[in-house]
Amino acid sequence: MSGLFESIKQGLNEALEYERGNLTNVRVDKVTVAPIHMYNANEVKAIRTQHSMTQKLFAEAMGVSVKTVEAWEAGTNKPSGVANRMLELLNRDNTLFERYSIVARQ
C-alpha cells in the first residue's frame, strides 16, 4: 500500500513541478471531449423507431423504465447526460445494441 501511495505522491509532485515550469522534458497529452447533444422528445422517438423497437424494449436496452422513455418522448422529462451520450452513440451506429449483445434479434 505504501508503494501505491508513493507512486501517487510522486505523480502529484511531478504535476506541480510541471505546472510551475520546472519540468520541460515531459510528454503531455491534450484531450478534448465533444459536448453532449441534448436530445429532445422527437429525436428520442426517432432513434427508438430507427432501431425498430417498442418503448418497452428500448427502455430495457437503455436500462431505464418504460415510464422514463414515455416521459422523454412526451417531452415531460429530458434524458440525463449519460442517456444523451448513449442516444448519440445509438444515433450514429444502428448496430450498437446487437454488436455489444445488448439486444439479440431472432
Please tell me whether residues 2 and 26 are part of one structural domain: yes
pLDDT at 65 over 70: yes
Of 8, 83, 76, whose CA–CA distance to 38 is shortest? 83
Cβ–Cβ < 8 Å for 41, 75:
yes
Rounded Cα gap, residues 9 and 27, in angstroms: 19
Please tell me whether residues 66 and 27 are part of one structural domain: no
CA 102 to chain centre: 16
How many structural domains comprise the chain? Answer: 2
For residue 64, give the CATH number of its domain.
1.10.260
Q: Please give the model's pTM, rounded to 2 decimal places.
A: 0.75
Residues with Cβ within 8 Å of 22's Cβ and at least 6 positions away in sequence, in order, are none
Condensed to tens digits (0 to 9), the pLDDT of residues 79-104 reads: 999 999 999 999 999 999 999 999 99
**pLDDT tier for residue 71 given thresholds of 50, 70 and 90:** very high
Please give the single-letter amino acid code of residue 32. T
Please tell me whether residues 57 and 89 are part of one structural domain: yes
pLDDT score recorded for residue 58? 98
pLDDT score recorded for residue 14? 84
Report yes or no on 105 lying in a domain.
no
Please tell me whether residues 47 and 92 are part of one structural domain: yes
